[in-house]
């Protein structure tokens, strides 16, 4: 079955190019030129992924992405915009977007990012996840490492799933806090995250002092190494 993609952009040329290229690669594409039209479409149809411009005639794509997430809509969102400042990218990702692509863009790179987003979503929705030596039965909440079951606390389990869902991505501690601990106010939250990661490493790594899976990125945060 073809994956359904909604492309939202006020540039007719971009809409035509994306629709043509995505349909060639076996996607079903619907287009919208503003937020009002987008909302009407989303009330009637469901999509596997949304490509969303930020600067639209009747509003800001950032606000719409935030409303979708607040409303419980988990459809992957890739922001496609001319805004290229780091602060814009951070804001876009923090509002709930899954990826951020700057115009002008290469179609092949965008296709790769689309497939990566869809693959992550498929893995998250699957009852069984395998990554390296780690196997997870989400229905039973059982984690096995090298065929041996390991016991994780509920928060350690949520944190591991979050890392695997975002494997290969460098993740800041603040983003981890917002995604895993939601709105809870943690005292010395950075230290709390570090301690939880230390405990997970002791349970899943062959050598916790030289981790292969959850890798520290100095001065930034952590990355789950998908190549392990």
Query: Per the CATH hierarchy, to which homologous superfamily does domain 3-124 belong?
Result: Response regulator (3.40.50.2300)
The first and second tokens of residue 146, run together, are 């090298």
The model carries a pTM of 0.59
- For 126-224, give the CATH class: mainly alpha
Query: 126-224: same fold as 3-124?
Result: no
Residue 24: is its pLDDT beyond 70?
yes
Per-residue pLDDT reduced to its tens digit, 147-159: 999 999 999 999 9
Strands (E), 27-131: 27-32, 49-52, 55-56, 59-60, 77-81, 99-102, 128-131
Other C-beta atoms lying within 10 Å of the C-beta of residue 132: 17
What local confidence, expressed as pLDDT, does residue 72 receive? 73
Domain ranges in the chain are 3-124, 126-224
C-alpha–C-alpha distance, residues 165 and 158, integer Å = 11
């Amino acid at each position: 079955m073809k994956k359904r993609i909604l492309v939202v952009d006020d540039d007719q040329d971009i809409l035509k190019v994306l629709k043509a290229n995505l349909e060639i690669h076996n996607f079903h594409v619907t287009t919208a030129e503003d937020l009002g039209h987008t909302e009407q479409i989303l009330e009637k149809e469901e999509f596997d992924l949304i490509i969303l411009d930020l600067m639209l005639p009747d509003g800001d794509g950032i606000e719409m992405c935030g409303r979708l997430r607040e409303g419980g809509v988990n459809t992957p969102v890739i922001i496609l915009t001319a805004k290229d400042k780091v602060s814009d990218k951070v804001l876009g990702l923090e509002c709930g977007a899954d990826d951020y692509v700057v115009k002008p863009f290469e179609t092949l790179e965008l296709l790769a990012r689309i497939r990566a987003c869809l693959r992550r979503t498929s893995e998250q929705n699957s009852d069984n996840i395998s990554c390296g030596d780690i196997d997870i039965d989400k229905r039973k909440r059982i984690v096995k490492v090298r065929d041996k079951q390991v016991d994780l606390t509920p928060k350690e389990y949520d944190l591991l799933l979050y890392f695997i869902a975002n494997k290969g991505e460098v993740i800041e501690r603040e983003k981890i806090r917002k995604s895993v601990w939601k709105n809870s106010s943690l005292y010395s939250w950075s230290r709390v995250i570090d301690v939880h990661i230390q405990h997970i490493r002791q349970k899943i790594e062959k050598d916790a002092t030289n981790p292969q899976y959850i890798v520290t990125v100095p001065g930034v945060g952590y990355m789950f190494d998908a190549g392990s």
